[in-house]
Amino acid sequence: MGKLEGKVAVVTGGASGIGKASALLFAQEGAKIVIADLNEEKGQEVMEELNNSGTEALFVKTNVTSEDDVQNLFKEAAGQFGQVDVVFNNAGIGVNKPSDELTFEEWRRTVSVDLDGVFLVAREALRGFLKTGGGVMVNTASMYGHVGVAQNAPYAASKGGVVNLTRGLAVEYADRNIRINAICPGFIDTPIIPEEMKDGLKAATPVGRLGQADEIAKAVLFLASDDSSFMTGSSLIVDGGYTAQ
């Protein structure tokens, strides 16, 4: 029996990278999947891939910075599958720019996806969990929620925010059968990392390579399943040794 047998999982940012790899793994473990992403074409493709392999899956075009979109996502998910048991709150964007050159608009855009979006999805997930008697949430932060980084100020501020938002929500809802943890990846080979940065990031990582999305997905599955039944409020760092330096 799969680790998520019979569960319904919403995956934001599920059209690509870590979200896609996690959605595919959740499906292998018996979950029905709702892919939520801005990217309609890639989101539909992942939904079709899941359907073709025998998984019940839905794609809902969603901008996580829009309250209406996020409310619609959970309405569609519940309408199709009855309830939502697992939420992987993962959509995010990066930025690489010296902080003294950042426009306020660039700051706001990043924080709006990477922190506001995480809150909006978490709030809607909680509303559902409270109605159905519980659930599990995994928020994607980053190792940059734990250590400083140059030329990534709004990203680092958001990811640090996600780490502590996770702690706060975990404490707030721990007695309602709701577990909430964060995953903190190091450098993972996905489209979010510009090609020209990859060699430098490999060299900066003690294991000497980038992580693969499915290596994060396995840790996300751990946090999303009963294997982590006594964990809530944690941030699990999976970074090839970067933050151990």
Q: How far apart are CA 55 and CA 50, in angstroms?
A: 5
Minimum CB separation of residue 223 from ligand NAD in Å reads 14
Tell the smallest beta-carbon distance from residue 134 to ligand NAD (Å).
Answer: 25
Closer residue to ligand NAD, CB minimum distance, 134 or 191? 191
173 as an active site residue: the answer is: no
Residue with Cβ nearer ligand NAD (128 or 145): 145
Looking at beta carbons only, is 5 or 149 nearer to ligand NAD?
149
Name the residue nearer to ligand NAD (CB basis): 61 or 130. Answer: 61
| Shortest distance in whole angstroms from residue 175 CB to ligand NAD | 28
**Minimal distance, residue 187 CB to ligand NAD, in Å:** 5
Chain contacts with ligand NAD (rule: CB under 6 A)? 12-13, 15-19, 37-39, 62-65, 90-93, 113, 117, 140, 142, 185, 187-188, 190-193
**Active-site choice (144, 155, 173, 242):** 155
By annotation, the residues acting in catalysis are: 155
